[in-house]
Amino acid sequence: MTENGEKGLSQFAPVIISAEDASSIEKKIPKKVCMPILKCAALLPGSNGKARFFTTDLNSSQVTTVSTLDEKFPKLNCIWPHRKPSLSITFTMDLLFGLLSTMKKAGLESAKFDLFDAESVVRIMGKNRETGQAGVAAIMPRKS
């Protein structure tokens, strides 16, 4: 517990909230900020079936309290394979999101990633089930 009785980071538990609440919180995240970290909402300790989210642009801030859903997260450590990954590739989030958003806007409903090795271009293929239209994109891994 912290000095004011709130849970510390080591006592945080995952929460599930409704899509509507997530959308509401997303709308409160500032669009024009001086630091990229401000384009996020911070999850604050909550209790009694509530989750609190903090947003700020450094001039003003707000805390949004929403109800959590009574669902259970899978124990992720139980579902990951117990071995090292055979291939790990890092992408810049803005670049990957932009590429997938463009493919979605083009009507492609899924994305198949063809990975050749950790340093080569990754081929992303998609297809529109209704029209049969296919799309292909390429993205380079980020050097770590």
Task: Tell me what pLDDT residue 10 has.
Answer: 54
CB–CB of 14/40 below 8 Å? no
pTM of this structure:
0.48
Task: Tell me what pLDDT residue 75 has.
Answer: 67
Task: Tell me what pLDDT residue 1 has.
Answer: 44
pLDDT along the chain (144 residues), means of 10: 50 79 92 87 85 92 90 69 86 90 89 90 90 90 78
Task: Tell me what pLDDT residue 66 has.
Answer: 94
Q: Within 10 A of 104 (CB to CB), how many other CB atoms are there?
A: 13
Structure tokens at 76: 């992720």
The model's pLDDT over 1-20, given as tens digits with 9 standing for 90+, comes to 445 455 545 566 778 888 89
